[in-house]
């Protein structure tokens, strides 16, 4: 069996509403104003898909020996390898300390991912994006507004992996 990367994605659109009910019977608990969540009826459920990409994994950036090489959300960049087969980018939700360590501060400001002047995505804490077969040698720039905690400025730590084929 060939070397490969398996991936899957899914989404469920959730709507929220509140109901105002006029009760004439005072013995009934008033649930007016309580928020109710439900699946958007236009879609009616969860959408998802998955696939796999054949890749020799000759070039793998972002990890080594099971350890992440973190990037800063403060104008960090990712350049995809030649013949790139897969790119994964995640906003860790924690502050960047170094390429080998993330901090304990919660960073909730969104991480933007751009290539050239085009914004590809904006990720909240814990959010991730995958790009199967992105352009080779493409530059993805990371942007995260500063979070000040106890007068110290922090940026989010970004976890990523790019996989190229020989």
Read off the tokens for 139. Answer: 């530059």
In the numeric block, the tokens 């009934």 are attached to: 28
pTM score: 0.88
Kindly list the structural domains of the chain, giving each domain's residue range(s) and its CATH number in brackets, ordered by start: 6-48 (no CATH), 55-164 (2.60.120)
Q: What is the pLDDT of residue 31?
A: 72
Distance from chain centroid for Cα 137: 21
pLDDT reading at 166 higher than 90: no
Rounded distance, CA 77 to CA 71, Å?
8
* 48-87 pLDDT, tens digit each: 999 999 988 889 999 999 999 999 999 999 999 989 999 9
pLDDT reading at 45 higher than 70: yes
With residues binned 3-state (H G I as helix, E B as strand, rest as coil), the percentages for the chain, rounded to 5, are 0, 60, 40
Which is more confident, 136 or 158? 158
Inter-CA distances, 100 with 67, 77, 126, 142, Å: 8, 16, 18, 18
Is beta strand 111-115 parallel, antiparallel or unpaired with respect to 118-123? antiparallel
Q: What is the pLDDT of residue 23?
A: 67
Q: What is the pLDDT of residue 47?
A: 96
DSSP H or E stretch at residue 58: none
Rounded distance, CA 38 to CA 31, Å?
16
* 96-154 pLDDT, tens digit each: 999 999 999 999 999 999 999 999 999 999 999 999 999 999 999 999 999 999 999 99
């Amino acid at each position: 069996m060939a070397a490969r990367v398996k991936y899957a994605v899914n989404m469920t659109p959730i709507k929220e509403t509140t109901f105002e009910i006029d009760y004439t019977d005072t013995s009934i608990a008033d649930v007016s104003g309580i928020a109710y969540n439900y699946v958007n009826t236009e879609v009616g459920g969860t959408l998802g898909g998955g696939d796999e990409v054949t890749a020799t994994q000759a070039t793998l950036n972002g990890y080594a020996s099971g350890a992440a090489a973190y990037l800063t959300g403060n104008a960090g960049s990712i350049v995809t390898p030649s013949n790139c087969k897969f790119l994964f980018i995640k906003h860790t939700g924690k502050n960047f300390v170094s390429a080998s360590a993330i901090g304990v501060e919660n960073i909730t400001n969104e991480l933007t991912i751009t290539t050239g002047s085009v914004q590809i995505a904006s990720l909240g804490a814990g959010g991730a994006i995958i790009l199967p077969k992105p352009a080779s040698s493409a530059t993805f720039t990371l942007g995260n507004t500063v979070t000040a905690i106890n007068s110290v400025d922090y940026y989010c730590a970004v976890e990523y992996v790019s996989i190229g084929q020989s």
